[in-house]
Amino acid sequence: MVGFLFAIAAAAVFAIREGANKKLTERMDVSVLVWGSILLSLVFFAGAFAVEGMPVIEPSYWIILPIAVVMATTTSVLLIRALQCSPLSLTLPFLSFSPAFMIFTSYIMLGEMPNTWGIIGIGFIVLGSYLINLEKARQGFLAPVKAIWHEKGSFYALLVAIIWSVSSNIDKMALERSSAFFYLLTVNIGVLIPLTVYLLYTRKRFLRQTKEHFGLLATVATLSSIGSGFQMLAIARILVPYVIAIKRGGTILGSIILGKIYFHEKNIAYRLIGATAMIIGILFILVFH
């Protein structure tokens, strides 16, 4: 049960982070936001690692780490490109599919398989998330799927969801061979290096943007660090598909609530169908796992 509490805590923290992200994306480039939050999160991970102490590292960890770094870097760049190329309504729905993909990838990679109720719960969460992200689409339920053929951003987002369904299992394999904060520290250092090179070639003034919005960026980095810590602690204790499904659904539900309270967003009623589906899915997982 502790693992589920960690997953719920991760979802709550990531929901708050999305509120801060909403403000930042209005003021700075998405790629700079990703880079800056990773850079500043290293301070938190280094401090947590110092408190945690050096874990016993299995030799196979050093084989898994580069794979995790490549996947995390690839998804970061693809997600940035997706958001730059296409409307949110045609990209975000695809990110909802990663928990569904993980039913298969987790079984193949880790031998983990949710029970029947768990699979149904994941299905409800995926459906609810998809419906909520369709809010701004005007071409119908299958608009994002059809967009794969003519929107690069939709295709990139689908690739991100597929890679996430594999990389989350890689996270668990790495945790089993090290510790939560040692892994988060090393993998983020690995991701930061190529992202820095990417920005040097594509965003010449990214350091100026980082300096101008340092306070809010530091807030995002802190929330990302805490949320990632909770997520890794959850992954180490329960099935990975459950963690990702609860995190995905809980983050979106929290974002809806924060959007209504702090950003006075409208059309909340439209999202209730999707939100209800996600709540049902989360309850199925929590009660019948």
**15 touches 253 (CB < 8 A):** yes
Domain range for 156: 2-288
Predicted confidence band at 233 (pLDDT cuts at 50, 70, 90)? very high
- pLDDT at position 269: 61
What is the pTM assigned to this prediction?
0.84
Within 10 angstroms of residue 220's Cβ, the number of other Cβ atoms is: 24
pLDDT > 70? residue 181: yes
- pLDDT at position 125: 83
pLDDT > 90? residue 104: yes
Within 10 angstroms of residue 70's Cβ, the number of other Cβ atoms is: 16
| Greater pLDDT, 10 or 88 | 10
- pLDDT at position 265: 61
CA atoms of 32 and 199, how far apart (whole Å): 8
| E-assigned strand segments in the chain | none
Q: Please count the structural domains in the chain.
A: 1
CA atoms of 41 and 73, how far apart (whole Å): 16
- pLDDT at position 145: 60
Read off the pLDDT of residues 261-272 as tens digits, 9 standing for 90 and up.
666 666 666 567
Give the distance from CA 165 to its chain's centroid. Answer: 11
**184 touches 174 (CB < 8 A):** no
pLDDT > 60? residue 105: yes
pLDDT > 70? residue 135: no
- pLDDT at position 140: 61
> Taking Cα atoms as reference points, which of 16, 14, 76 lies closest to residue 227?
14
Within 10 angstroms of residue 256's Cβ, the number of other Cβ atoms is: 19
